[in-house]
A and B are shown apart, each in its own frame.
Chain A
Amino acid sequence: MKVKSPKDFWAGLMFIAFGLFFVIGARNYRMGSAARMGPAYFPTMLGGLIAVIGGIVFFRSLVVKGGKVPAIPLRLLSIITLSMIVFGYLLKPIGLVLALVFLVVVSAFAGQEFKIKEVLLLSSVLVILSVLIFVKGLGLPFPLWPGFLD
């Protein structure tokens, strides 16, 4: 067995996995009948279908030539997503101001250049703008500072 189209190979596997996830997951719910569709009916049908299509894509990838999968920019992607997730979980405990500084400084590492002065300036501008627009302007209920300071 030789993979001729890595892109389709992985895409096929991904679809099969998603399909199976929904088909197997739906077994916890009632199936019902076509006339009285239970909560499992629709997901089982679609999950089965997507797994079948995934299977076709998978087997085609062994026969038909196709493109290689370009490298996934792991470093970039993890910096961006993690900085946002951590921002989300920091917002309530440490307040908007510090959480924003964290988000801007950490996410700035994903760029090709990192100049600390520039980044700090950018974060202060963004903090001021966000506080004015979102907290003062739109009235979003965010704490500005850590709880012990208020």
Chain B
Amino acid sequence: MNLQFLHNLSLGFGVAFQWLNLFYCLMGVLLGTLIGVLPGIGPIATIAMLLPVTFSLSPTAALIMLAGIYYGAQYGGSTTSILVNIPGETSSVVTCLDGYQMARQGRAGPALATAAIGSFFAGCVSTVVVAMFAPPLAEVALKFGPSEYFSLMVFGLVGAIVLAHGSLLKAIAMVLLGLLLGVVGTDANSGVQRFSYGIMELADGIGFIGVAMGLFGIAEIVASLEPKEARDVFTSKVGRLMPSREDFRRMWKPILRGTAIGSAIGILPGGGAVLASFGAYALEKKTSKYGHEFGKGAIEGVAAPESANNAAAQTSFIPMLTLGIPSNVVMALMIGAMMIQGIAPGPQVMTEMPKLFWGLIASMWIGNAMLLVLNLPLIGMWVRLLTMPYRLLYPSILVFMAIGVYSLSNSPFDVLLMALFGILGVIFVKLECEPAPLVLGFILGPMMEENLRRALMISRGDPMILFTKPISAFFLFAAIILLGIILAPKIRRKREEVFVED
């Protein structure tokens, strides 16, 4: 910790505390929670839906608002998990286990408060982690050449594959499909139009927002509309919010551990909130002396995963901000948003746009504080939202999605694209092909091609350059080892177990 660090933070807080940025942070957090609370709509769909709203803002305000939407949605998701037992998002799946049980025992209030306190603490710590780790990483990344970048992206994508549910082969195929869809449009190098078959709107490539909204938004709505068993909402029984002294005594260690695990996992490629919350829950269950209470309403089972997923959500910004590489779909959306704002994501963002960079980081802390202060008092309102019948909700969501996508280029083409990807998304789900790796591949496709092209040009066509440069070789070997570990039968079985828990 040195002067530079403090200087950076004060610069950041200076930007984040500007009235307008505070306002957009607040709007982001509120809208994010509002939509995140709705069952079956996770942060991905929320961000995709609200992305167009940010187009007219300055890049800094837009990113601050989007980040706010992200952790707002995350927070809203845990509310839904606790009260309705339907995770608003995958990262609060484990929160359902004990949170819902607490709600059934009339302890919904303390469960919600625990989630909020854990998230806030984790948010504070991980903001500092981001501020400390991002600059050195960006400095290293500035020295990366095309081979290093290409191998880093391979490593990142392998990470995404490893963490996908289900079959590895299918996940690899989905990544490749994403990479391929990413190259549709004008080839930056030769100017040739690839795979656009005379469709003018495809000259700039397939619109990323349409893809994401279709694959996640539409597919989620269709899934929610399919007939299912009825759900119980604990609306009247939120009760008193304040956890008891005993609760506090039991929650602080899990919060610390969850924060540590979450911060570490968030940085990994393909990591992020989901794995972090699963990991933290599993660890608590094994080590806690209240292990036998898990699944029956143990407060540790709420505190640990909720801290972990918030910490991971925050630290997953590190690779995005410093390397320009998304570690999960939300970060891919962030990169999409940056590109729309005319910013090329990568290590130069920090040096060329320090205000944006540090302002965004500082706003994370502010956003978390807002969540803590606003959401507990507003919990009644969120609960009322939960009782709104889905038949009224989904047409409203469709309206926002349709207008948002249409406004991308003021043409119906993007709406058409979104609908087509919606159909694909539903098919993917039915065939158990996870769409997340596809989206990451899609964002990285053009970058990967360009870096591979350059690397091979330097080596005159010899692919061994990827293995002779030390950093590049390191990433490739790491990727191979990661794949090897996952294919090992023992780990493979474990991996299946972990994902079965939802």
Contacts and interface: CB of A to CB of B under 8 A. Distances in A.
Q: Do A and B come from one complex?
A: yes
Interface of A: 7-8, 10-11, 14-15, 18, 22, 25-26, 29-30, 33-39, 41-43, 46-47, 49-50, 53-54, 56-57, 60, 67, 69-70, 72-73, 76-77, 80-85, 87-89, 91-92, 100, 103-104, 107-108, 110-114, 118-119, 122-123, 126, 130, 134, 138-141
B167 interface: yes
Contact of A38 (B190, B195, B390): B190
Contacts, number: 184
11 contacts: A11-B432, A14-B433, A15-B177, A25-B194, A30-B190, A42-B183, A43-B180, A54-B173, A69-B430, A80-B222, A92-B412
B289 interface: no
Contact of B192 (A29, A57, A73, A123): A29
A110 B395 CA distance: 9
B422 A49 contact: no
B112 interface: no
A103 to B, nearest CB: 6
B306 to A, nearest CB: 31
Contact of B431 (A25, A69, A87): A69
Contact of A34 (B56, B221, B463): B463
A88 B430 contact: no
Nearest to B226: A73
A42 B402 CA distance: 34
B396 A22 contact: no
Contacts of B170: 8, 11, 15, 57
B415 interface: yes
A76 B399 contact: no
B457 to A, nearest CB: 6
A114 B392 CA distance: 10
Contacts of A89: 412
Contact of A88 (B187, B190, B392, B415): B415
B56 A138 contact: yes
B391 A113 contact: yes
A82 B222 CA distance: 13
Contacts of A47: 180
Given A33-B461, A35-B461, A46-B179, A80 B221 contact: yes
B427 to A, nearest CB: 7
Contacts of B173: 11, 15, 50, 53-54, 57
B341 interface: no
Given A42-B453, A87-B415, A108-B395, 11 more contacts: A11-B431, A36-B457, A37-B189, A37-B453, A80-B398, A84-B402, A84-B415, A112-B391, A118-B392, A122-B392, A134-B403
A11 to B, nearest CB: 4
B195 A77 contact: no
A73 B227 CA distance: 10
Interface string B391-411: 110111011011100110011
Interface of B: 53, 56, 167, 169-170, 172-173, 176-177, 179-180, 183, 187, 189-190, 192, 194-195, 218, 221-222, 225-227, 390-392, 394-396, 398-399, 401-403, 406-407, 410-416, 418-420, 422-423, 426-427, 430-433, 449, 452-453, 456-457, 459-463
Q: Which of A25, A84, A123 has most B Cβ within 10 Å?
A: A84
Contact of A122 (B56, B221, B396): B396
A54 B459 CA distance: 32
Contacts of B403: 130, 134, 140
- Top 7 nearest A-B pairs (CB, nearest first) are A88-B412, A88-B415, A35-B461, A34-B461, A111-B391, A81-B419, A50-B176
Contacts of B402: 84, 87-88, 103
A57 B169 contact: yes
Nearest to A118: B392
Contacts of B194: 25-26, 29, 39, 43
A91 B463 contact: no
Contacts of B176: 46, 49-50, 53
B440 to A, nearest CB: 14
Contacts of B56: 138-139
Contact of A84 (B187, B418, B457): B418
A8 B167 contact: yes
